[in-house]
Amino acid sequence: MTEVQNLILAPVWDHVRTGINFLSGDHACAEGAVYAGCRFFAGYPITPATEIAEHLSERLPELGGQYIQMEDEIASMAAILGASAAGAKSMTATSGPGFSLMMENLGLGYMMEVPTVVVNVQRGGPSTGLPTTVGQQDMMQARFGTHGDFTSIALSPQSPQEAFDLTVHSFNVAERLRTPVLLMMDEVVGHMHERVVIPPPGELPLVGRPKPTVPPEEYRPYRPGPDLVPPMASAGEGYSVLFTGLTHDETGRAVTTYEGQKALVPRLREKILRNREVYERVGLYRTEDATTLVVAYGITARSARRAVDLGRSKGLAVGLFRPITVWPFPAERLTSHRNVARIVVAEVNLGQVSLEVERIAGAYADVVHVGSAGGNVLAPETILEACTSPPEARP
Amino acid sequence: MTANGAIAAAIPPAAPAVAPAGPHPYDHLLRREALPHIWCPGCGIGTALGALVYGFEQAAVPREKRVVVSGIGCSSRVVFYIRTDAYHTTHGRAIPFATGLKLSNPGLNVVVFAGDGDLFAIGGNHFIHAARRNMDLLVVCINNFNYGMTGGQGGPTTPPGALSTTTPYGNAEFPFNLPDLAAAAGATYVARWTTLDVRRLRTTFAEVLGRHGFRFVEVLAPCPVSFGKTNKIGSGAEEMEYYRGLEVLKSRVESKEVAATDIVLGKPIVVGTFVDRARETFRDRYVRVVAKARGAGP
């Protein structure tokens, strides 16, 4: 049998749908993956993320890429790690129930330091919950969902345009820092259709993973560079790499001791925390003189922006702080707003990111959570009310 | 004599120093610095690993194209000793990891090497779906009838009535017949050997490493410290003797006979090539999908 051509690693490039498009957030995310050079998608159908898989099942074969529908989300997560280990930029997309199943191999991705992108179009939970309506209830799962100590990077888009932009950014961050990146969308952003401007190929920078610069006999798959990121050799490049989910030394050999853990796991955290400039993005709106800040991300940031305008029209000094990078939370960017007396954290859950804001700013500001158990977008008036309610009125 | 003196007197004199091992023809194919290995005396996994290394060499697979993916357990530890690109993944997930890896670079020769609990309990769903798709993988299962690394618990291949640390009154469950399962799920090549059949195992690997499609080799292997001891089979050598007494070699098992190859303690063990058939692989079919998507195909 003749050797089949390797299509994924030698893709065609005349593929980007440059120009003004009218896309759902899910389709914009899929087009962002195409733009970023993603040529491997493994997934499993789930509302409200299915459209990402459907769109890529059409687009990737056109580009010589690989779409594969796996038997479940456990397998999907494993497959995208394997694809990345062989050198492909890879992605999966899911929602809450599938995200839960991905936790096991997501941890493998952090431990093995395999770049990949996991999209979660959030719906209401727990369990099967609200398959077709909105939630932002997986934010703490994105931070702490898999077992053990790890530091995740999670981004949240507020529009189809930003779904496109942040998908490209997610791939760049994943490759640059050799880590999985979580794109935390929500059902409304996933399903809403808006204008999406796709730039020409090459206009947005694309980042590849650091590669070895030493011969195979000197290469150590887990010897970090000065930025704490180890260069990554792919399968088939002659480096005889050894990757494991066990605690390991620089060679990849298992060292399951206190010393082995101490040499590895804190570096995995520091690798993320010391490279904030790679991934940290914040959106600010009318915050210069604000004494009240609304903190909101995803679709809720759209309501919060309206709440800010309503508040300003009533003479309230209110502004919007939008953590586009939700994890690690951009704490210094928040605390640089020193005149703030109240922070309203608006999110479609019963209090998740608000816990982190309370920890960061609770000592100097009155931190209020406003949210719901899912199923609706928070109304601007509801958010504004939380900005003006007296402290004692809080539950 | 003091108590300590009595203990000291009871310790046998130190064994004569063993001369450092000389070079071995496979040294460059193993991660020699990782030795000694973790496997127990009498364990069959090393035999199967040696046969796999032999197979890679005989099949003339270029060294940089060799990839071994494993899960969790004693058998999955092979990746720490074989000098190929090697991935030690999560429990049961070696097959989907290997699926992504192979599809991203179809030029690689990818082997999944793991144990019976890994591949057929926690990973059973992945196994049948990879076989259904006819994914280009050679899956090697070390079947030692129990979970060795965690101390000898019963699993999906523990024979009926067999003892283990979690079946102290005898196993109440029916086990999987692995060749039967692989055949039904769509594997294009299925063989079963024991670690007694070293030559046949080597020949099998040498032959099937050069092929495409989903290939499955079950290797029955002694686990003397757990399964062998608990079930009074004895040491590794005695378990090999057990195989020798009960093995029934069939060069080709007819499909209607496959279900009659269940493993029952004390009964004959049918070994041989069970399935050898041609079927389009996932990749063969997907390449046509790509051609169609690009407007070049029918």
A-B CB pairs within 8 A amount to 169
CATH classification at residue A87: 3.40.50.970
* Domain end position, chosen among A220, A254, A279: A279
Q: How many CB atoms lie within 10 A of CB B55?
A: 24
Residue pLDDT, tens place only, B244-286: 999 998 867 766 676 678 999 999 999 999 999 999 999 999 9
Q: Two tokens at A215?
A: 């011969």
Closest Cβ–Cβ partner in A71, A242, A244 for B126: A71
Of the residues B103, B112, B189, the best mutation for testing chain A's interface (the one with the most A CB atoms within 10 Å of its CB) is: B103
The B residues from 114 to 173 touching A (CB cutoff 8 Å) are: 125-126, 129
**Model pLDDT, residue B23:** 83
Average pLDDT over residues A71-82: 98
A153 and A181 share a domain?
A: yes
Q: How many CB atoms lie within 10 A of CB A218?
A: 9
Q: Name the CATH superfamily for B34-293.
A: Thiamin diphosphate (ThDP)-binding fold, Pyr/PP domains (3.40.50.970)
Largest CA distance in chain A: 76
Residue B21 has pLDDT above 70, yes or no: no
Q: Dig out the tokens for B90 from the structure.
A: 């999560």
Which of these three, A279, A302, A330, is where a domain ends?
Answer: A279
How remote is the C-alpha of B137 from its chain's centroid? 13
Do residues A304 and A383 lie in contact, with contact meaning Cβ atoms separated by under 8 Å?
yes
pLDDT level of residue A2 (50, 70, 90 thresholds): very low
**pLDDT above 60 (res A45):** yes
CA distances from B142 to A41, B57, B128, B195 (A): 31, 21, 17, 9
**What is the rounded CA–CA span in Å between residue B123 and residue B214?**
16
pLDDT higher than 70, residue B221: yes
Which positions ≥6 away from A134 have C-beta within 8 Å?
A: A122, A123, A124, A186, A187, A188, A299, A348, A374, A375, A376, A377
Spatial separation of the C-alpha atoms in residues B30 and B36, rounded to whole Å: 12
Domain count, chain A: 2
- Same-domain status, A86 and A221: yes
A253 and A288 share one domain: no
Is this complex's ipTM strictly greater than 0.90? yes
pLDDT tens-digit map of B106-144: 999 999 999 999 999 999 999 999 999 999 999 999 999
The answer on pLDDT for B5 being more than 50 is no
**What is the domain range of residue A329?**
284-393
Query: Region B40-52: what's the mean pLDDT?
Result: 97
A186 and A223 fall within a common domain: yes
Mean pLDDT across A163-174: 98
Look at residues A263, A279, A295 and tell me which one is the last residue of a structural domain.
A279
CB hemisphere CA count around B215 (13 angstroms): 24
A82 vs B63, B98, B212: nearest CB: B98
Show the CA angle centred on residue B98, arms to residues B94 and B101, nearest 5°. Answer: 145
Answer yes or no: is pLDDT of A179 > 50.
Answer: yes
Residue in B65, B103, B106 closest to A68 by CB: B103
Mean pLDDT of A287-316: 98
pLDDT in tens, B134-162: 999 999 999 999 999 999 999 999 999 99
**Would you list the DSSP string of A38-72?**
--EEEE---TTTHHHHHHHHHHHHHTT-EEEE-SS
SS3 B138: strand
Does residue A14 sit in the same domain as residue A54?
yes
Q: How far apart are CA A117 and CA A170, in angstroms?
A: 7
Chain centroid to Cα A268, Å, comes to: 17
Predicted structure pTM score? 0.94
Task: Say if residue A259's pLDDT is above 60.
Answer: yes
pLDDT tens, residue by residue, B178-202 = 999 999 999 999 999 999 999 999 9
Pairing verdict, β A242-244 and A130-134: unpaired
A40, A89, A244: best to mutate for the B interface, most B CBs within 10 A: A244
Domain ranges of chain B: 34-293
- CATH number for the domain spanning A380: value is 3.40.50.920
Flag the least confident range among A105-114, A342-351, B18-27, B165-174: B18-27
- In this prediction, residues A316-343 reach a mean pLDDT of 97
Mean pLDDT for all residues in chain B: 92
A41 plus A152 within the same structural domain: yes
Q: Which helix (H) or strand (E) covers residue A159, if one does?
A: none
Are residue A157 and residue A26 in the same domain, yes or no?
A: yes
B9 confidence band (pLDDT: 50, 70, 90): low
B50: left (phi over 0), alpha (psi -120 to 50) or beta: alpha
**Are A263 and A291 part of one and the same domain?**
no
